[in-house]
Amino acid sequence: MSFTGALGLMAMFLVDLVDMLFLSMLDEKEAVAAVGFASTLMFFTVSLSIAVSIAATALVSRAIGAGDMALAKRRATHVLAFGVLFSLALVWLIWPRIPQLLYFIGANFRTLDLATDYLQILVLGMPAVMIGMIGSGIMRALGDARRAMYATLLGGVVNAVLDPILIFALDLGVEGAALASLAARFSMVAVSYYGVVHIHKMLGEFELMDFLKDVRPIAVIAVPAMLTNLSSPLANAIVMAHGADFGDDAVAAIAIIGRVIPVVFGGLFALSGAVGPILGQNYGARLFDRMYKTLSSAVIYSAIYCILLCTGLYLSQEFLIRTFSATEATAEMIRFFATFVSFSFFFQSLLFIAIAAFNNLGKPLNSTLLNFGRATLGTWPLITIFGYIMGADGVLFGQAVGSVIFGLIGFRMARRFIRELEVKSLANG
């Protein structure tokens, strides 16, 4: 589940990395910084889509674990309807306010203009992202991780093919990168729709009264999950805003690192999508021994993954610097991240595991508190202090320290919560 999820997530985030790579070839650092600012806001919208997909995974996997396929199909249909309506409302709300939002997080002058052009195109693809993510969540709940991966893999391929054509051959620059990404997002919909509807036949007829009944259980999971997921882009926005104080070189470095992280650490980001449905199904079947083994296996997986990938990132740092034509100031931040900061992602993976447990086992508010704690108390004071002491590098280091603290706290809370569920289950016979 983690491996296929990792490949799928890496492919999706590779879309942004490919955009950054081709735009860096234009030899215009404002273009790279613009995509960094735009992607910071886009991360908010993608996080909301992931939150609704978490609700789909949790509700469908529990119904399957309890042996109620009719309920699973009904919930799948209604989560999808909920997601489409919600994403359309977001497009209506965000699109006219894009310049103000970008200015708020530090974009200005030509960087602001380029970021606005990029984001105004990309935001139109939000409903496609929502449908694709929910479809993948439903397939993961069914255990079909391979087909869920195909949707995001296709998106990466479409983007990689269209980027050079639109950016260079048609000379569209930043707008070409946005159009390529938009096409990639719509390609995800086709694969997800085919898997959910034609292969698994998981969508039934939409019934308004049943939908209204299901809105509450969907919202009980989706709303706290949205708040939880919004905390990560909030932390990134705080980091980007603090980085802007050190100039466009620092912003470009943070933007490049921000695109590299999901590709390199996609296997850790995939943990929530892998651990969640496994915990959900086993909780539905009251198999607590398997739930404990899932947590232990996830930690072992994270440790091995971090050792291998962080070592690889350290060894390839100069290649990244050359590939993105980084200035010396930008290069120094990339080296600092690859050498000292990247290993903190093991502790961040502990937080991902804890969040998956709380979201899928009926305690999503805990996930919200943990992630917002990391995004606020674990980010802003620390990057302010370390930024003052260490300069631009301190912005990265402060965020890493926060990840270590909240990762350890979150994992301990998750194990204790599963133990409480087991005790309660035994007491109820």
Q: Which pLDDT band holds residue 103 (cuts at 50, 70, 90)?
A: confident
Residue 205 scores a pLDDT above 70: yes
Domain count, the chain: 1
Residue 356 scores a pLDDT above 90: no
pLDDT number for residue 9: 65
pLDDT number for residue 404: 94
Give the chain's mean pLDDT. 84
pLDDT number for residue 15: 66
Q: Which pLDDT band holds residue 29 (cuts at 50, 70, 90)?
A: low
Of the given ranges (8-12, 290-294, 379-383), which has the lowest mean pLDDT? 8-12
Residues in the chain: 429
Percent of the chain with pLDDT over 70: 93
pLDDT number for residue 418: 92
- Kindly state the average pLDDT of the residues 324-337: 89
Pick the most confident of 102-116, 138-152, 268-282, 373-387: 373-387
pLDDT number for residue 42: 78
pLDDT tens digits along 111-127: 888 889 888 998 888 89
Residue 304 scores a pLDDT above 90: yes
Residue 310 scores a pLDDT above 90: yes
Burial of 210 (0-12, 13-18, 19+ CB in 10 A): middle
pTM over 0.85: no
pLDDT tens digits along 268-284: 877 777 787 788 878 87
pLDDT number for residue 69: 85
pLDDT number for residue 378: 84
pLDDT number for residue 10: 67
pLDDT tens digits along 212-235: 888 888 888 888 777 776 777 677
> Which residue did the predictor score with more confidence, 347 or 427?
347
Phi, psi of 32 (to 5 degrees): -65, -45
pLDDT number for residue 213: 86
pLDDT tens digits along 2-25: 666 666 666 666 666 677 777 777
Could you tell me the residue range of the domain that residue 86 belongs to? 2-427
- Kindly state the average pLDDT of the residues 323-336: 88
pLDDT number for residue 299: 94
pLDDT number for residue 1: 64
> Which residue did the predictor score with more confidence, 36 or 257?
257
pLDDT number for residue 12: 65
